[in-house]
Structure 1
Amino acid sequence: MNRIDVGFAELQAFVAVSERLSFRAAAAALEITQPALSRRVDKLEGVLQVRLFERTSRRVALSEAGRQFQGHARAAIREMEMALGGISAAAAQRSAVVTVACVPSVANHVLPGALEAFARRFPNVRLCVLDESGAQVVQSVTLAQADFGVSFVGAQEADLDFKAIYTEQYVLAVRRDHPLAGRKQVAWSDLSETRLISLSSRSSNRILFDNALANLKQRPAVFCEVNHVTTALAMAAAGVGVTAVPALAYSAVRYPTLAALALVGPSVQRTLGLLSRKGVTLSAPAQALVAILEDAAQHDFRF
């Protein structure tokens, strides 16, 4: 089958003239010049190798071939408009869902307040939260499975932008009846005789600890190892031991039996940031959620 070089513009031009039987009126309706309109009609007639209009200086009329072609042209335009409308609707539906990838400690203790504020402004936008490890957050954003990410790693990723929004200290969570609970701060060296609950060696938190404590002559021994910050806090609340966690993860309301003490010698901190793909513009709702998180970070995430 030979390729038919007819575009949407040529079909629109033919239908506009066939319905108005006036090149001037059709050109005005399409907001193009008469010469441009004539070129489109001429191209269509050349491709079809028939005369679609009978033209004189006084009138324009459809030829027999034009009358036969008119219905097909209208149908083709309707099909194209429906296809374009379907694509636009699908794009609108995608933009009505905001997906954020977030490390669990932030997903548990920061994101709920941000999402509640977001829902008040965008009640018709659905939300999807991928609460996963730092490495998985990076992967989800890189693969476009999430609109953006909230994590503590990724600044070094070539395909991603990392915008720092908050720096937090790590604290030592201890039961209020623990011998250390009366102190305002605790040095890492003070934990040598204390049962320490640590996060898994696969955790980004553990990697941060290991790097920060690498120069200590005597490092605290790990008594119990868990995968999640929430598990470590639950273990500490039960009296299994003490645990070092990000300050944002500790909540006096949620863990009333625990006290949070400053950790020194050295002090350990991490920087929370927003991850996004380079050169990609976020949808308006996603941008709004980013703005809510940035604003909340300036107020220590008090919503």
Structure 2
Amino acid sequence: MNRIDLEFGDLQAFVAVAEGLSFRAAAAQLFISQPALSRRIDKLEGVLKVRLLERTSRRVSLTEAGRQFLEHARAAIAEMQVALGALSAAAAKRSTVVTVACVPSVANYVLPVALEAFSARFPEVRLRVLDESGAQVVQSVVRAEADFGVNFIGVQEAELDFKAIYTEGYVLALQRSHPLARGKTVKWKDLCGSRLISVSARSSNRVLLDNALARLEQRPAVFCEVNHVTAALALADAGVGVTAVPALAYSKVRYPSLVTVPLVEPEVRRTLGLITRKGAALSAPAQAMYDLLESAARSGFDFP
């Protein structure tokens, strides 16, 4: 099939002239000069290799080919307007919804305050949170299901960027009356005699801890295993045992009977970061949310 080099502006020019049968009126309608309009018509006729308009000093009329082509030109312009309208609607929808994928501890203890601050600034923007495992957060960003992600797994995918924003240590959450609650720190080996509540081996938190404690001669045994940090804290709050959690996961308001003590020897830390698709531009609201989290991290997530 031979390539036909038609431009949208040329079609608009022809339709404007054909409907008004006036070069002067069409030029005014399109906000261009009459010579520029004539060049567009000449170009269109040259591409089509057929005369569309009969022009004299007094009048303009359509040829038979022009009358036939007019209907096709109108249909093409209408289709293009529908397509542009659909794209504009989709862009507007994307700009009014911000989707953030994040690990559960961030969803439970960081995002609620962040979203409140964001909504105060952007009350018209709807928010969607995908609270998932670290690996699922990565995939949600890769598949463009989320505008960006908040994760503590260093991203190795070539198509993603990882921007570190906050580093936190692991703490022992336990009842105030527990003997280990009196120290300024707790060594991992000192947990060997305690009932340790841990997240499952499928959790990114568990993988990080297992790797960090692999060289210890004495490793604490898991007494109770759960799927999420929130469940581990709830059981510790009920007095079932003690649990090691990222510092951000603990909330004095939610778990009033618990205290936290930093865990050492080894000191295990994780780095939270914002992950985005490489080269992808965020919508204005999504960028504002991204910037809010990055700024808040510098002050330890002490939101205004």
What's the TM-score once normalised by structure 2's chain length? Answer: 0.90
Equivalent pair of 1:154/1:160 in contact (CA under 8 Å): no
Partner of 2:284: 284
Q: Is 1:300–2:300 an aligned residue pair?
A: yes
Q: Does 2:231 align with 1:215?
A: no
2: CA distance, partners of 1:296 / 1:141: 22
* Contact 1:134/1:153 (<8 A) preserved: yes
**Residues 194-219 of structure 1: CA distance to partner in whole angstroms, max 9, x if unpaired?**
11111111111111111211221111
The residue number in structure 2 matching 1:86 is 86
Please list every run of 5 or more consecutive structure 1 residues that lacks an aligned counterpart in the other structure.
Answer: none
Distance 1:38 1:70 in 2: 17
Aligned residue pairs total 302
Question: Aligned in 2, Cα 1:71/1:201: closer, same or farther, shift over 3 Å?
Answer: closer
| 1:46 CA displacement | 4.8
Of the structure 1 ranges 118-127 and 72-81, higher mean CA displacement relative to structure 2 is found in 72-81
- Contact 2:194/2:242 (8 A) holds in 1: yes
Contact 1:151-1:274 within 8 A present in 2 as well: yes
Give the match for residue 114 of structure 2.
Answer: 114
- Choose 92-101 or 5-14, whichever is displaced more: 5-14
- Determine if the alignment matches structure 1 residue 169 to structure 2 residue 173: no
Aligned to 2:201: 201
**Match for residue 187 of structure 1?**
187
**Partner-residue secondary structure (3-state), 2:234:** helix
The 8 Å contact of residues 18 and 62 in structure 2, kept in 1 or not, is answered as no
Counterpart residue number, 1:63: 62
Give the secondary-structure state (helix, strand or coil) at the position aligned to 1:192.
Answer: helix
Contact 1:138 1:154 in 2 (8 A): no
2:98 corresponds in structure 1 to 98
Listed one character per residue, the Cα deviations across residues 203-239 of structure 1 (whole Å, up to 9, x for unaligned) are 1111111121122111111111111000110111111
Contact preservation (8 Å) 2:54, 2:63: no
Identity of aligned residues (%): 72
Letter in 2 for 1:281: A
Partner of 2:235: 235
CA distance in 1, matches of 2:159, 2:174: 40
Q: Is the 8 A contact 1:134 1:204 kept in 2?
A: yes
Amino acid at match of 1:210: D
Q: CA RMSD in A?
A: 2.4
Structure 1 length as normaliser, TM-score?
Answer: 0.90
Q: Secondary structure at the match of 1:208?
A: helix
Q: State the one-letter code of the partner of 1:138.
A: V
The answer to whether the 8 A contact 1:53-1:60 is kept is: no
Instruction: Tell me the SS of whatever aligns to 2:255.
Output: coil
* Displacement of 1:27: 4.6
Structure-1 separation of matches of 2:248 and 2:117: 19
Q: CA deviation at 1:54?
A: 2.6
1:68 deviation in Å?
6.5
In structure 2, the residue matched to 1:245 is 245
Q: Supply the distance in 1 between the matched residues of 2:58 and 2:73 (Cα, whole angstroms).
A: 22
For the 8 Å contact 2:10–2:44, the answer to whether it is kept is yes
Q: Which amino acid aligns with 1:61?
A: V
* Corresponding residue number in structure 1 for 2:124: 124
Q: Could you list the per-position Cα deviations for residues 84-143 of structure 1 after superposition, in whole angstroms to 9, with x for gaps in the alignment? A: 112211221122111110000110000011111111122221111110000000011011
1:255 paired to 2:255: yes
Aligned counterpart, 1:8? 8
Structure 2 distance, partners of 1:260, 1:47, is 77
Displacement of 1:20: 5.6
* CA displacement 1:146-204 (0-9 Å, x = unmatched): 11000001432211100000011110001111121222211111111111111111111
Cα shift at 1:281:
0.5
Specify every segment of 5 or more residues in structure 2 that has no aligned partner in the other structure, as ranges: none
Alignment of 1:256-271 (within 5 A): 256-271=256-271
- Matched with 1:141 is 141
Displacement of 1:83 = 2.7
Q: Which has the higher mean CA deviation after the structures are superposed, 79-88 or 235-244?
A: 79-88
